[in-house]
Amino acid sequence: MDFDPNNLDRVIDDALATKRVAGAVVMASRSGHIIYSSARGLADLEARRPMDLNSIFRMASLTKPIASVCVLALVDAGLIDLEEDIRRYLPAFSPMLGSGEVPTITIRHLLTHTSGLTYDFLQPPTGSYWAKQVSSGLDQPGLTLSEQLARANAVPLVAMPGTAFNYSISTDILGAAVMSVTHGTLDEAFLRFVLGPLGMYETGFVPTDNSRVTQAYFNHEGALSRMGPSQLVANDISFTSFSPDRWRDPKSFQSAGAGLLGTASDYLTFLVALLQGGSPILSPNKMNWLAENAIGDLEVDPANPGWGFSLGFSVLRDRVSVGTPQANGSWSWGGAYGHSWFVDPSQELAVVALTNTAMEGVAGQFPLEVRNAFY
């Protein structure tokens, strides 16, 4: 790998110039040393506030790997069993198949998104998750966890647990289980088992400094549009519903799947800890579980084969099918507000790219261009 930081500068500047993203913070570490760190563009277009290395982002699904690590730390502590039925921890949570059968959903099923649950944005607007207003954790300020669990319990599973990968609210169910076994709030558990030991004190369910939170934007008809208080953004199947100020309502449930806010620096610290073996937050064998494909031959996305999934994020199975320069065994994930990250263990490389623009920053060309610039 022969990385030229000027190439990455050009990638980011082109995305800004073509108004694909409003602003970005990109950081990278190789062999434990920072090799790239840049904040470019604007955190708030209207206020002309520059992006800063200390800008705070709504992490969306970048929350999920942190939640998964917290669960595995609780497995290390003997408080959670991967093969146990979720009803051991949440007795009232027992969603049914369409046939009326109540199948066993294990902690492993939830970690691997093979639970049979799904998301509203993966269903058409007439789908059951929209009808029952099951939140993705990105919207509906003021919605409590008990109400979210009740709504999720009232919709049919989309598959028998263990038979298919369906990206889902599974991580929010895990968050409820974490609260059950630790007898506290989710932010307390995250702080105790992950954020505190790693010194990630800029990460939490409320920002450490409101003035550093970036404004949220989305791509619309070739232009950047500022998100409103309740914003629907079209995707290939349906819509993703955003409420950028959800975190301001203290009644909003702490979403283990989408609720954290934090900085690129903090998130890079987290990835580097995993890359270097998981200490001090995970034992070596739990880190091995996290680094390996855990869904067998199931496809994360049948339309884009080549990716597996561990107990917390995507794992590259076939670099040729994917068409990526990354080595097999690389990890990656993203967040709907416009974020992506990847780790290539063969290169001891960890990269975080946070933007304030959905969906380009997560599902557009930007994350692919950032990736390619490192190779």
Residue 329 burial (C-beta neighbours within 10 Å; 0-12, 13-18, 19+): middle
**What DSSP state is assigned to residue 333?**
E
User: Residue 322 CB: number of other CB atoms within 10 A?
Assistant: 17
Q: What is the pLDDT of residue 303?
A: 84
As a whole number of angstroms, the distance between CA 354 and CA 336 comes to: 11
Strand-strand pairing, 217-220 and 357-358: parallel
Amino acid, res. 374 = F
Q: Is 115 in the active site?
A: no
* Per-residue pLDDT tens listing for the chain (375 residues): 789 999 999 999 999 999 999 999 999 999 999 999 999 999 999 999 999 999 999 999 999 999 999 999 999 999 999 999 999 999 999 999 999 999 999 999 999 999 999 999 999 999 999 999 999 999 999 999 999 999 999 999 999 999 999 999 999 999 999 999 999 999 999 999 999 999 999 999 999 999 999 999 999 888 999 999 999 999 989 999 999 999 999 999 999 999 999 999 999 999 999 999 999 999 999 999 999 999 999 999 988 899 999 999 999 999 999 999 999 999 999 999 999 999 999 999 999 999 999 999 999 999 999 999 999
Question: CA dist 145 to 33, 82, 140, 363, Å?
Answer: 40, 22, 12, 29
Q: Distance between CA atoms of 177 and 186, rounded to whole angstroms?
A: 10
Tell me the residue type at 339.
H
Q: Is the dihedral of CA 340, 219, 370, 57 positive or negative?
A: negative
Asked if 82 and 75 touch (Cβ cutoff 8 Å), the reply is: yes
- Residue 302 has what pLDDT? 86
Residues 61, 68, 136, 170: which is the catalytic one? 61
Spatial separation of the C-alpha atoms in residues 245 and 221, rounded to whole Å? 24
Fold held by 5-57+206-218+263-373: Beta-lactamase (3.40.710)
pLDDT at residue number 300: 95
Strand partners, 219: 224
**DSSP-assigned letter for residue 179:** H
pLDDT of residue 1: 75
Residue labelled with tokens 């990460």: 203
SS3 content of the chain, % helix, strand, coil (to 5): 35, 20, 45
pTM higher than the cut 0.85: yes
Domain-wise residue ranges, the chain: 5-57+206-218+263-373
What's the confidence (pLDDT) of residue 222?
A: 83
